């Protein structure tokens, strides 16, 4: 995969994610009181106030417009539809109802988006995906799965998701040390 092609993919996907974010954020509802109470020990209050939830009731999330053409050229890209949830910055979209573990997972991604910014998140995601070719092995995903598993095994085991994301950045575990070095903890 040439650097040009990687940069083009990143720029297309970032534009798509921004458009989807605007669309779904406007259509979304705030977290309900019960979910907010459950998530409060793990996430910042500001994040929990800001996120919006969208339930698709069986409708699919629209695929990025350039995907069919990429597929035709034999380029594999991360799948965005046929997922139970997808996070566009602070807009959390669920295709089959909001299960508590999926909500936790989506909030981990929202935290990662907050720390890396949209462009930084997409950059890390795409570069890792082109290396490993499986969504689940992309570190941003692997971390979200690890933390939602931990939460689901014992929700009384309290930890800060933001703290965990910063720990992975310090340990260079999101894939690109050079990139992680450009993010400063505030």
The residues that bridge with 53 in the sheet, in sequence order, are 29, 92
| The one among 144, 147, 161, 169 contacting Zn ion by CB under 5 A | 144
Residue placing its CB nearer to Zn ion in the complex, 142 or 176: 142
Stretch that binds Zn ion, among 2-10, 18-26, 89-97, 134-142 (CB under 5 A): 134-142
Contact 40, 144 (CB under 8 A): no
86 near Zn ion (CB under 5 A)? no
Residue placing its CB nearer to Zn ion in the complex, 55 or 146: 146
Q: How far is the CB of 141 from Zn ion (least distance, A)?
A: 5
Residue placing its CB nearer to Zn ion in the complex, 67 or 88: 88
89: Cβ contacts below 8 Å, ≥ 6 apart: 17, 18, 21, 25, 110, 113, 118
d(CA 90, CA 52): 6
Q: How far is the CB of 18 from Zn ion (least distance, A)?
A: 18
d(CA 1, CA 6): 7
Binding site for Zn ion (CB under 5 A): 141, 144
């Amino acid at each position: 995969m040439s650097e040009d092609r990687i940069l083009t993919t990143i720029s297309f996907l970032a534009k798509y994610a921004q458009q989807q974010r605007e669309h779904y954020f406007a259509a979304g509802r705030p977290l309900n009181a019960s979910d907010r109470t459950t998530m409060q020990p793990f996430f910042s209050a500001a994040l929990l106030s800001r996120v919006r939830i969208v339930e698709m009731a069986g409708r699919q999330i629209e695929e990025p417009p350039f995907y069919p053409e990429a597929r035709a050229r034999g380029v594999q890209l991360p799948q965005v539809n046929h997922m139970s949830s997808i996070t566009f910055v602070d807009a959390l979209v669920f295709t089959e109802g909001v299960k508590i573990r999926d909500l936790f997972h989506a909030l981990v991604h929202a935290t990662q988006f907050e720390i890396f910014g949209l462009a930084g998140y997409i950059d890390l995601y795409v570069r890792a995906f082109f290396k490993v070719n499986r969504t689940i092995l992309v570190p941003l995903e692997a971390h979200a799965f690890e933390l939602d598993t931990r939460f689901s095994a014992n929700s009384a085991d309290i930890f800060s998701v933001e703290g965990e994301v910063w720990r992975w950045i310090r340990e260079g575990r999101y894939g690109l040390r050079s990139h992680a070095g450009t993010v400063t903890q505030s």
